[in-house]
Structure 1
Amino acid sequence: MFGKIVSHKVRANKIHLEFEKNEGIIEIISPMIVNVFCPLKYDNHYSRAVEDLKIEQCEILVEKKDFYIEISTEALLIKVYDDFKVDFYSIEGKILCEDFREERAPFVRRGTISDAQDEGHSVDIQADKHKIEVVKRLFGDEKFYGLGEKTGHLNKRGYYYEMWNTDDPTPHVESHKSLYKSIPYFITLREDCAFGIFFDNTFKTYFDMGKENSKYYYFGADDGNLDYYFIGGNNVQSILKGYTDLTGKTPLPQMWTLGYQQSRWSYSPAGRVKEIAKSFREKDIPCDTIHLDIDYMESFKVFTWDKERFPDEKKILNELNEDGFKIVTIIDPGVKKEKNYDIYETGLKNGYFATDKDGITYVNRVWPGDSVFPDFSKKDTRDWWAENQKILLDSGVSGVWNDMNEPASFNGPLPDDVQFENEGRNTDHTEIHNIYGHLMSKATFEGIKKHSGKRPFVITRAAYAGTQKYSTVWTGDNQSFWDHLRMSIPMLLNLGMSGISFCGTDVGGFSFDCTPELLSRWVQVGAFTPLFRNHSGSNTRDQEPWAFDEETLNINRKYIKLRYKLLPYLYDLLWSGETTGLPVMRPLVLHYEKDKEVYEINDQFLFGENILVAPILEQGKKIRTVYLPVGQWIDYWTKEVIDGGKYILKETPLDICPVYIKKGSIVPNYPEQNYVGEKDIKELTLDIYPGEGQYVHYVDDKESYNYREGEYTLYEFIMKNDEEATIDINIKHEEYKAYDSFKVIYNCDITKEVYFNEEKISFVETDNKIEFVIPAVSGRLIVK
């Protein structure tokens, strides 16, 4: 494809390489990030993920060697050879990532394919070559993380996946090559180094992580440009920051979106919605959000209301809002083909819909029957779709849930030759498919932001790299199976490692019938999942917290209330993540990458850095092994202090999910409330686990963008534990009225005296801890 290097030229931060048969470009984005590019289809990137590329000025040295071109930054050494083979080294000369020089050699498959298929078996065939293909050498110590929501284990070594957004309602198992999202990015961890690769190609792409041969891994595509970013870093955290510097960070959401959410296909008519709302308040279960699935619409027509089921939607939604409930409505991209239906007529008149190759509006079948599909690759269409969000907002809707946007249809995937405008670079469905949901979410986000002035709440099923800038995601139509609860942990962790922090699953499972024990264990995971939504499908049994028995109800109440207690901690994580790119749910390897024990842990996770969660993921299990990393950890329920760096056994009756707090942690808590905003919280509880540590707590108005203009308050807590425990409290920024006082829960067996700013403070001793109140001002707290 390339041949020998003929010449090279350096132009600013780009090194242009002329080969015998083609050209290539090495672009230095920063000392740690390098783009490898060949204009096989377009002259430029035209990225849908990298929308605000910032080039960091740095020193670049380029030197022609005998057999290669050597490029160096202050952090990386890049060697470019004939055939556009590119190897990456640390500046000290350590090989990080090397192109494979031999031909691909898939393992031999034996047997008769047709016989197996006749019996109904799904059979893999020999792997194909791809138009674009990058093959990298395996050194043998690699672990792979990321690639979005793919099924299987946390470490993707030995797996093969395809990036082609797919609506597949069959039970998701490890053999699924593709699901709803395409995030062509992964992190490679080796014994003494780590790096990331982002293959920015929206066509169907392929990732073989050492499955077909243990000598190499590869990524490829059917079409488009050769366009990938090598992301170096000192550790996995810095690599994730580098990737999200490119594709965007998850923005801070409104706080109510972090509360508990209840959904079903479908809560309809209005009386049923009110009944659900009333039950939450009567049964003392906090809840902020109720979702309306497709049955709220008139004949499934988007941006309409069924006037029989919801005769006065504004009045109904206003009443629910007064009781603390936000309403989120589903919207699909399929627009009903119907005369005198305004959305259809306006879109048709202005050419907002995708067409066939003859320029005729393309029609397929979805919920409304014959439907047409907005061309979201066209800015005018996105602007129009954004304006339509005002219809929902004016009805009292608080958020929008985008579904069926792979795009899905009842007649299978849209044909490859469906045409899209693509910002003036006319193309077909093969290029737009994987970014269709991404662009729909962008339009939705921008419309809600414009017409509400608040941080938008958008949920999407389909996504591409960078969707985190516009939407939260869920993992699609799961099942009420224990295997799906188990598999949800690595799926969510890898979404987080792929830049998507605000994510979740359908708690309890969407299809099949949930059981009391399964819901009890799933809500224990959901309490620590950024998007905490119970959702179930049509014709399944009821799945609300009270749908089973008193024990299940009590367990749901316990963990939903725990979630509300931890809301300020969760909000802090999302606030800091807007800068660092770090997710809320984290695999242990993100903070303990030198610990070999954590590389394959699929059934535990960190909630931020300070809280470790080890849920029960198997039916009937009443005890489990928990791995605690190095350091000391405190059992959240018993307050037992445990030395880490080892495995322990923890008894787990049905109402106990093992939770451990890292020594030296300060965890902010809220008082009980039925919904976010019910109380004007003037006293923050500080749950303190003595040791060496630092914590920053953030406060703003919980909904607007005023924080970006400086309207927030920032508290810094620095804790030391020498001869006496000291906690320095510093108000680093104070432009928003926050708290009057701090209620301190200090988890310590023996306490003699407490002083704040040299004034002695009285305290109450209860169950291995003391409690006291101090003013929310800067100062020094001393515990003797």
Structure 2
Amino acid sequence: MELETTSSGFAVSMAGRRILSHSATAPCFFVGQGTDRIAMDRGRFEIEDRLAERCPLAHAEIEGETIMLAAAKGQPPRLAVTREGNALVLRALDPSVNRFWLRVIADRDENVWGGGEQFSYFDLRGRRFPLWTSEPGVGRDKTTEITFKADVAGHAGGDYYHTNYPQPTYVSSARYALHVETSAYSVFDFCDPSFHEIEVWAVPERIELFAAPSFVGLVEMLSSRFGRQPPLPEWIYNGAIVGLKDGANSFNRLARIREAGVKVAGLWCEDWVGIRQTAFGSRLFWDWQANETRYPGLRQRIAELNSEGIRFLGYVNPYLCDDGVLFREAEAANYFVKDDSGRVARIDFGQFHCGIVDFTNPDAAAWFSEEIIGKRMLDYGLSGWMADFGEYLPVDVHLASGADARLAHNRWPTLWADVNAKAVASRGRTGEAVFFMRAGFTGVQKSCPLLWAGDQSVDFSRHDGLVTVICAALSSGLLGNAFHHSDIGGYTSLFGNVRTPELVMRWAEMAAFTSLMRTHEGNRPRDNVQIDSDPAVLKHFARMTAIYVHLAPYLRSLSLEAASRGLPVQRPLFLHHEEDRRTYGIQDCYLYGRDVLVAPVWQASQEMRKLYLPAGTDWIHVWTGQSFAGGRDMSIEAPLGRPAVFYRADTEFEKLFAGLLDL
């Protein structure tokens, strides 16, 4: 990074590219004051700001490596900016300042990616993205009927920018990345053609810059900065993780699924803790220990599965229902987040209430990690689990650390990930037991071994269906999250919206070319097609698991590469074709590693797939062996069971990929 004085002010450059430019008439730093209103309802937030001041810091004085910024000459400085390595360290000199803006130089033809895990738009250019971990909402498109109905029923509709996992980091097509080190509410605004504007409801600690001659090098830098996951557990390569929540009958159904030829690595029973019925559907009983009324002799059943090479997985989240045994234990030990009166802050989760275990209290975090995850899960025999939620910390609560809940809210998923990771490490099972999360923020990468894309609608919709999990994998993968997957068939079934067999089959086709295949019965299992409720779906799913297992040697190589270099399993096309700008805006196709291009069918009733093959190599169509030159638009037949998949003609895995023809 270079800081230079110019005739009109100063400039900051990274690897020869000018990032910031300041003059008295066009300052890049602004500060101010505002009063927020943040209200939460079941993980959804209404956020407003009453802005009292936005002041351009027009006057700059450089003292060595520090810039002192004031509104005008002769006025006291309000912000100090110091260059330290690849970062600008910020310090507010005016205690009244609680708003910050920064304008970054933009090119008109620039592409921008990142922002955490984004579902609707991979290229962020031209839009505004608030960064606040929350429920993404149902439908996520204000023009659709399902989003309208969800809003009317409970303000649950969501919008394009809502995400479980935001992160104030972006990657530019100019081959640099910018990270804002803050946990405050922030906004990335990429609407102006000449600058990107960053807004933060606090003065950030640092603005970090990264630059590399290639996108691969940039991703390696970012993954090193935020953390890398261990390789996938060996048992995952054995097949799909089958999600069933049918009590003891889950084992009988699994036996029939296996008899149909499905390759199975694990049985995932999120209802291992018991269930309760609500208006939303069957919900789990949030008291994290085995319910042997619903699963008699579960410990022995788990041992029997292990002897057959199949692992058992469960479910946990960071809340405890107030009618459970563990709630009373945690309350007695003073382990909960408090309300204004000093009592346990009870959160409404829809017909039941829970306390939030206060992970800023080291004793509470250690208790949850050891007594719940360690003893009641890992020691009981679980090899993995969904570590759900993390987005629900309200801003009007009191924490043991004394931290402002407004600043703790975005960090909460990373604290939750750390609780899980420490439990796994305490049993020496890092890289062998696996948990998967939907919530995240800066730093979740170093603790969470596997992301999942959250609760998509059970449909092909543009903003909440199958196609959104591709965008989610690509955006989060650039920032160091190497392993990503989704609920096969989606999750949320409301207002008469139910799965079709076609949807389940198309989703399974995509999942066969990802880090992990995992099914989910959804929030209303009896209303929706399951993998074992339709013979055609079951036969198709068995074949997709055979494809996944066949590709295990390739996936294993990607897993090792992810651990050593931080490169994601699912990659944007431009990561290995950066000279081909046609690839920069593509978000409905991806590279599976470097060598395989996957173009899932993500619209209903389609058997042809239009796509673009990147330039610079020839591509072999998996199902016909036909060769196509890169650098071209094309349409290819993609009937059920034969998704549009190609591999590089010069790949060292050519024999493995050609073998897919026999499956």
With the length of structure 1 as denominator, give the TM-score of the two structures: 0.67
CA contact (8 A) 1:375 1:381 kept: yes
Which residue in 1 is equivalent to 2:369? Answer: 386
Q: Pick from 624, 642, 652 the counterpart of residue 628 of structure 2.
A: 642
Q: Percent identity?
A: 21
Gap change, CA 1:27 and 1:406, over 3 Å in 2: same
Question: Partner amino acid for 2:219?
Answer: L
SS of the counterpart of 1:506? coil
Which residue in 1 is equivalent to 2:172? Answer: 188
- Residues 391-410 of structure 1 aligned to structure 2 (within 5 Å): 391-407=376-392
Which residue in 1 is equivalent to 2:100? Answer: 132
Are positions 1:143 and 2:111 aligned together?
Answer: yes
SS of the counterpart of 1:307? coil
Question: Partner amino acid for 2:635?
Answer: L
- Residues 353-752 of structure 1 aligned to structure 2 (within 5 Å): 353-366=336-349, 369-388=352-371, 389-390=373-374, 391-407=376-392, 414-422=393-401, 426-455=402-431, 456-471=433-448, 472-483=450-461, 484-512=465-493, 513-540=498-525, 541-550=527-536, 552-629=537-614, 630-667=616-653, 687=656
- Residues 329-344 of structure 1 aligned to structure 2 (within 5 Å): 329-337=314-322, 341=325, 343-344=326-327
CA contact (8 A) 1:503 1:530 kept: yes
Which residue in 1 is equivalent to 2:130? Answer: 162
CA contact (8 A) 1:302 1:332 kept: no
Number of equivalences:
563
CA contact (8 A) 2:239 2:546 kept: no
The 2-side partners of 1:169 and 1:138 are apart by 31
CA contact (8 A) 1:130 1:220 kept: no
CA contact (8 A) 1:3 1:21 kept: no
Question: Partner amino acid for 1:156?
Answer: L
The 2-side partners of 1:361 and 1:149 are apart by 32
The 1-side partners of 2:520 and 2:323 are apart by 31
Give the greater-gyration-radius structure (CA): 1
Are positions 1:313 and 2:303 aligned together?
Answer: no
SS of the counterpart of 1:666? coil
- Per-residue CA deviations over 1:442-478 (Å, capped at 9, x if unaligned) read 1111101212434241111211122122221111111
- Per-residue CA deviations over 1:335-358 (Å, capped at 9, x if unaligned) read 13358x3x3344334432212245
Gap change, CA 1:176 and 1:623, over 3 Å in 2: closer
SS of the counterpart of 2:601? coil
Which residue in 2 is equivalent to 1:89? Answer: none
Offset at residue 544 of structure 1 (A):
3.5
CA contact (8 A) 1:481 1:509 kept: yes
CA contact (8 A) 2:179 2:207 kept: yes
The 1-side partners of 2:429 and 2:556 are apart by 20
Which residue in 1 is equivalent to 2:279? Answer: none
The 2-side partners of 1:431 and 1:353 are apart by 18
CA contact (8 A) 1:298 1:306 kept: no
Offset at residue 590 of structure 1 (A):
0.9
Gap change, CA 1:357 and 1:16, over 3 Å in 2: farther
Gap change, CA 1:688 and 1:297, over 3 Å in 2: closer
- Per-residue CA deviations over 1:217-246 (Å, capped at 9, x if unaligned) read 212122252522111111222111121121
Gap change, CA 1:221 and 1:257, over 3 Å in 2: farther
Question: Partner amino acid for 1:478?
Answer: Q
Question: Partner amino acid for 1:613?
Answer: V
Are positions 1:256 and 2:235 aligned together?
Answer: yes
Question: Partner amino acid for 1:480?
Answer: V
Offset at residue 610 of structure 1 (A):
0.7
The 1-side partners of 2:567 and 2:348 are apart by 40
- Per-residue CA deviations over 1:170-198 (Å, capped at 9, x if unaligned) read 12348432221122111111xxx321111
Which residue in 2 is equivalent to 1:752? Answer: none
Q: Pick from 24, 32, 35 the counterpart of residue 80 of structure 2.
A: 24
CA contact (8 A) 1:314 1:396 kept: yes
Gap change, CA 1:637 and 1:592, over 3 Å in 2: same
Question: Partner amino acid for 1:182?
Answer: P
Which residue in 2 is equivalent to 1:36? Answer: 88
The 2-side partners of 1:587 and 1:149 are apart by 14
Which residue in 1 is equivalent to 2:262? Answer: 285
Gap change, CA 1:481 and 1:250, over 3 Å in 2: same
The 2-side partners of 1:401 and 1:560 are apart by 21
Question: Partner amino acid for 2:486?
Answer: T
Gap change, CA 1:40 and 1:322, over 3 Å in 2: farther
SS of the counterpart of 2:541? helix
The 1-side partners of 2:212 and 2:320 are apart by 45
Question: Partner amino acid for 1:375?
Answer: D
Structure 2: gaps spanning 5 or more residues: 1-30, 32-56, 70-75, 143-158, 277-284
The 2-side partners of 1:268 and 1:518 are apart by 22
SS of the counterpart of 1:217? strand
Gap change, CA 1:27 and 1:387, over 3 Å in 2: farther
The 1-side partners of 2:234 and 2:350 are apart by 33
- Per-residue CA deviations over 1:617-662 (Å, capped at 9, x if unaligned) read 2222222223222211222222222222222331122221121111
Which residue in 1 is equivalent to 2:48? Answer: none
Gap change, CA 1:377 and 1:41, over 3 Å in 2: farther
The 1-side partners of 2:387 and 2:657 are apart by 40
The 2-side partners of 1:41 and 1:446 are apart by 38
Q: Pick from 273, 278, 291 the counterpart of residue 250 of structure 2.
A: 273
* C-alpha RMSD of the superposition: 2.7
The 1-side partners of 2:119 and 2:264 are apart by 30
SS of the counterpart of 1:165? coil
Structure 1: gaps spanning 5 or more residues: 10-14, 44-128, 408-413, 669-685, 690-744, 748-765, 768-784
Instruction: Name segments (4+ residues, structure 1) moved above 6 Å.
Output: none
Offset at residue 36 of structure 1 (A):
1.6
Offset at residue 507 of structure 1 (A):
1.2
The 2-side partners of 1:687 and 1:290 are apart by 28
CA contact (8 A) 2:240 2:545 kept: no
The 1-side partners of 2:232 and 2:241 are apart by 18
The 2-side partners of 1:334 and 1:294 are apart by 16
Relative contact order higher in (CA < 8 Å, ≥ 6 apart): 2
CA contact (8 A) 1:511 1:536 kept: no
The 2-side partners of 1:269 and 1:599 are apart by 46
Question: Partner amino acid for 2:454?
Answer: G
SS of the counterpart of 1:395? coil
The 2-side partners of 1:546 and 1:305 are apart by 25
Are positions 1:235 and 2:214 aligned together?
Answer: yes
Offset at residue 479 of structure 1 (A):
1.0
The 2-side partners of 1:593 and 1:42 are apart by 44
Question: Partner amino acid for 1:35?
Answer: A
Question: Partner amino acid for 1:373?
Answer: I
CA contact (8 A) 1:313 1:395 kept: no
CA contact (8 A) 1:258 1:530 kept: no
Gap change, CA 1:362 and 1:41, over 3 Å in 2: farther
SS of the counterpart of 2:290? coil
Gap change, CA 1:290 and 1:42, over 3 Å in 2: farther
CA contact (8 A) 2:190 2:196 kept: yes
With the length of structure 2 as denominator, give the TM-score of the two structures: 0.79
Are positions 1:223 and 2:238 aligned together?
Answer: no
Question: Partner amino acid for 2:599?
Answer: A
SS of the counterpart of 1:597? helix
